[in-house]
Amino acid sequence: MKNPLQKRLLRELRDEAGKYIVIFVLLAATIGFVSGFLVADGSMRITYDESFERYNIEDGYFDVAKELTAGEKEALEKSDINVYDGCFVEEALQNGSTLRIFPNREEVDKVCLMEGEFPEKAGEIAIDRMYAENNGIDVGDTIKSEGKSWTVTGYVALSDYSCLFSNNNDTMFDAVKFGVAIVTKEEFDSYSRKALNYRYAWTYNAKPENEQEENDRAEDLMKAMGKVITLETFVPKYQNQAITFTGDDMGSDKAMITVLLYMVIGILAFVFGITISNTITKEANTIGTLRASGYTRGELVRHYISMPLFVTLIGALTGNILGYTVMKNIVSEMYYGSYSLTKFVTIWSGEAFIKTTVVPFLMMLLINLAVLNDKLKLSPLKFIRRDLSRRRQKHAIRLGVKIPFFTRFRLRIIFQNMSNYVILLIGIIFANLLLLFGLALPVVLDHYQAEIENNMLSKYQYMLSVPVRVMSDDSKIRSMISMLEFSAATETDNESAEKFTAYSLNTTDDICDSEEILLYGIGKDSSYIPLDFSDGQIYISSGYADKYDLKAGDTITLKEKYEEDTYDFKISGIYDYMGALSVFMSQEQLNETFDLAQDYFSGYFSDTELTDINDKYIGSVVDKDALTKVSRQLDVSMGSMMYLVDGFAMLIFMVVIYLLSKIIIEKNAQSISMTKILGYENSEISRLYILSTSFMVVIFLLFGMVIDYGLLTVIYREMMRSMLSGWIAFYTDWTVFVRMFLLGIVTYAAVAVLEMRKIRRVPMDEALKNAE
Amino acid sequence: MFLEINNIKKSFGEAENQIEVLKGIDLSIEKGEFCVLLGPSGSGKSTLLNIIGGIDNSDEGYISIDGEKTGDMTEKKLTLYRRKHLGYIFQMYNLIPNLTIRENIEVGAYLSDCPLDIEEMMHTLGIYEHQHKLPNQLSGGQQQRTAIGRALVKNPDILLCDEPTGALDYNTSKEILTLIETVNDKYGNTIVMVTHNDAIKYMADQVVHLKDGVVRKRYRNEKKVPAQELDW
């Protein structure tokens, strides 16, 4: 015969609908979001990985000063590669952004149409979807440069620009001020040859089998090309940030999102545990009678655990349905908000199912099983006598009679509900951590922008682009001539300009992936970097010191990016510069260390624009815009997500407070009823039972802020270390904490109103009903 | 007349399931009088006590205390009425489990503008030495003493007792009854006590027998028997 106790479940579900609905909503929302994230992330990852073959993404590109001849192309292809035309023009649009325009590609780096149509005639253009969204350009709009205008026929994703890096040397992309587009061949041919940038892509006929082989082949290829043509730049695919950045970033949030889910499930499991514990106390007589009549502990455990498991299962299933439908789209929108990805196809994820359904179910099962086994261990007699405490409390905590009576009453409520308040504290800390993150990130980015503007090395840093032929030419004489040409063409008459040498090395640190550190060789008596280098001192930027926990006296080891050579530098001091991870030493020392000519330089610091240097030798200009790209891009890609985080944090906060305060009131229903009988007014009872929780909420909010601040500085550090090359220091101001506190109080106030209603509804016969 | 109960009717349930628990009770009790309501289970005595106590409503009739009718009172006024005039003692004590003995008595004291002295009350009730303990650390008798203390400390006009000895053994029951008797003498509170115990009728001023929702017998004792001399 079926256990008749199970018939209670439906009734319990109906009687406690409010409680189960909020738990269900939180479970379904969290699982839905995480499931959506894992599904979208997994599907995107597969789409991204497959895009290399589907869209025939290049194995690298190179720039030359003039168009390749058929003979040169043929000679290059003897190195077992195919060479494709990848020429482009760049147009400065009237909205202040730059658009890189290509003719539509059919062989390599093929284009994915995201919306609308491909351009079919002159005057039509299809632009990158993300760039269009960031600049509010719709299909059908007209975009204009100084001399031209185009009608936007559609949105596209260029497979070799999943991340919109305009320059491969940039530390971050800027999808607001830079975009890519395609036009018809006819339109493209209307540009003069002078306007063209001669870029060519290559693919290997036989693909390299691993990274090492790819690296070796690229090095050999660069040398082979140097014999045929004069290379301006040479970027193999694995170095091309526009292609690889997205893949490197994908999945980096997976662990954090999964931990978020497990924390929510853990909190809810304990809330269920407390609810069950409360129900067992309430039903002690019945449990004792059932046990005395022959019901086993297992049967009762199974009965009481059914509802949490049922709600979890329904929540998980609903969450998964939401995940595969609505949430997947929200998360993919977040990806599409950061990257120019091609269209993706949803792929069923076993990992997502295990993480969002199996693990939460098991967590709920194990935590509640532990609570139930512990609670139901007592003998039937103890249940019948309602004597459920393992250890008889010898003395109540003494509270002096001078403490006002209401205060003592509230303190007793707090002592009585300590386990509830512990879970409440964990819930508040967790919710506030999310809220602090959501509120602090925009402040961090604003502060970074302001800091950068006030603390630049110089208004402009011109990074000169040393032609590849200087490095790759086998003929030393030709290489020297190239060097002389370069030196002559990069001299300036600008009086504010000051030469420096820049050299890139990579970290060897285990904490993060190897990342680029820019070493500056500073000229004597520099007005831009006023440091003392007289005794060979070496300084690092404060950004570098902050990110890697470095201080004066430490030794750093850096290495060549694709070689094994390492260099040790002892830090003499920290230079206040958060804009980049940099090392500063004298120009003489740097040139000597890297075997460069004594008078070698590779850039200028300047407070005014340099106008007398040939553009082709300017690799990049580091100005305010360039330095704040990181924060701008983070703002664009994560800004909207922060509202979601804030909302989710408040939902968790509200649900946890609602459930736990509900339990406190239910647990004390008889006492509340009795005080009503005695003549206490509802307002007085609310002051007793709600103010005690209010007091704890305020304490926890304040205490939680301290804990959360500490936690977030650690989490932020790890997060930024793993997701960002460069460094944005954590910063927050008092307004964040005030907003956090006020949001907490407002959310709690909403719950307190529900609590008051609940207290009003406790009937006076409750005290009589349960008196037996 | 201090407490007047006039044609009180009360039913529970609806349609064919409706049960008329009180079928028109009329009763009057003098100030300071000790009245015992006797009757078998289901006779309606507890329901009547709850209506007197303002925690339940009658379908018809009214209760008047010192000229004030409870039926006309709003929820707020009814709360004030309980606060001002009534003390309650239940069979299962209904103490607040997370408050100490002293604090449970203070729950009552808080409601009065001029409560009795708590220390003296605890001494009178014999629970002074237990004042810092929680209810579950005390015996049933001690818990009931505390409940009496909570009810009395605000010096109510009427003390309503619902089977106050129902969960206690013989000796403890006699102790509690003696205590109630002493309180009645000392403070002059009107006491209405519901009980199954037929012996208690001898210590009352007025005895009311209820059966099937009507007053079957009602009389005054010419000579009361002290609680200590009761036997059952």
Answer whether A678 sits within 8 Å of B83, measured CB to CB. yes
- pLDDT at position B21: 92
3-state secondary structure A720-755: HHHHCCCCCCCCCCHHHHHHHHHHHHHHHHHHHHHH
CB A733 within 8 A of CB A644: no
Helix (H) / strand (E) containing A500: strand A498-507
Answer whether A670 sits within 8 Å of B94, measured CB to CB. yes
Distance CA A556, CA A178 (A): 35
How many residues would you count in chain B? 232
Report the candidate in A427, A316, A437, A436 with the shortest Cα–Cα distance to residue A654: A427
- Residue B91 touches chain A, beta carbons under 8 Å: yes
Q: Would you call A436 exposed, middle or buried from its count of C-beta atoms within 10 A (0-12, 13-18, 19+)? A: buried
Nearest CB neighbour to A416, from listed B55, B81, B98: B98
- Residue B108 touches chain A, beta carbons under 8 Å: yes
Q: Hey, what are A740's tokens?
A: 């956090």
Distance CA A189, CA A192 (A): 8
- Residue B84 touches chain A, beta carbons under 8 Å: yes
A646's CB contacts (< 8 A; 6+ apart) are: A434, A435, A438, A439, A743
Answer whether B91 sits within 8 Å of A679, measured CB to CB. no
| pLDDT tens-digit map of B140-170 | 889 989 999 999 898 898 999 998 888 888 8
CATH class of B3-229: alpha beta
Residue that the structure tokens 């016969």 belong to:
A765
- DSSP-derived secondary structure letter, A523: P
Report the candidate in B123, B146, B126 with the shortest Cα–Cα distance to residue B134: B146
Distance CA A561, CA A508 (A): 10
In sequence order, which ranges of A376-404 are alpha helices (DSSP H)? 380-384
Distance CA A665, CA A658 (A): 11
3-state secondary structure A113-153: EEEECCCCCCCEEEEEHHHHHHCCCCCCCEEEECCCEEEEE
Contacts of B102 in chain A (CB under 8 A): 401
Residue A709 in 3-state DSSP? helix
pTM score, two decimals? 0.75
- Residue A393: how many other CB atoms lie within 10 Å: 11
Chain B residue at shortest CA distance from A760: B75
Answer whether B90 sits within 8 Å of A768, measured CB to CB. yes
Q: Hey, what are B9's tokens?
A: 């009717």
- pLDDT at position A723: 66
CB B37 within 8 A of CB B225: no
Whole-complex ipTM: 0.84
In sequence order, which ranges of A156-296 are alpha helices (DSSP H)? 185-189, 211-228, 241-249, 254-282, 284-293
| pLDDT tens-digit map of A227-250 | 888 887 889 998 898 998 888 777
Report the candidate in A452, A411, A606, A419 with the shortest Cα–Cα distance to residue A527: A606
- With a cut of 50, list the residues of chain A below it in pLDDT: 511, 771-772
Contacts of A415 in chain B (CB under 8 A): 98
End-to-end CA distance of chain A: 31
The C-alpha torsion from A177 through A182 and A183 to A189, rounded to 10°, is: 90
Q: What are the residue boundaries of the structural domains of chain B, listed by start?
A: 3-229
Q: What are the residue boundaries of the structural domains of chain A, listed by start?
A: 1-52+254-392, 54-249, 405-456+627-772, 458-622
Contacts of A671 in chain B (CB under 8 A): 96-98
- pLDDT at position A772: 41
Interface test with A, best of B41, B134, B162 (most A CBs within 10 A): B134
Q: Hey, what are A674's tokens?
A: 């009795």
- Residues A703-742 as b or e (16 or more Cβ within 10 Å = b): ebbeebbebbeebbbebbbeebbbbbbbbbeeebbebbbe
Residue A584 in 3-state DSSP? strand
Distance CA A194, CA A348 (A): 50
Average of per-residue pLDDT across B175-196: 89
Q: Would you call A70 exposed, middle or buried from its count of C-beta atoms within 10 A (0-12, 13-18, 19+)? A: exposed
Answer whether B83 sits within 8 Å of A680, measured CB to CB. yes
Nearest CB neighbour to B110, from listed A405, A768, A771: A405
Answer whether A678 sits within 8 Å of B53, measured CB to CB. no
Residue that the structure tokens 């010192």 belong to:
B66
Answer whether B50 sits within 8 Å of A768, measured CB to CB. yes
- What sign does the CA torsion over A499, A505, A509, A512 have? positive
Interface test with B, best of A382, A403, A678 (most B CBs within 10 A): A678
Distance CA A754, CA A655 (A): 12
Q: How far is CA A594 from the centre of its chain?
A: 37
Chain A residue at shortest CA distance from B87: A678
Residue B39 in 3-state DSSP? coil
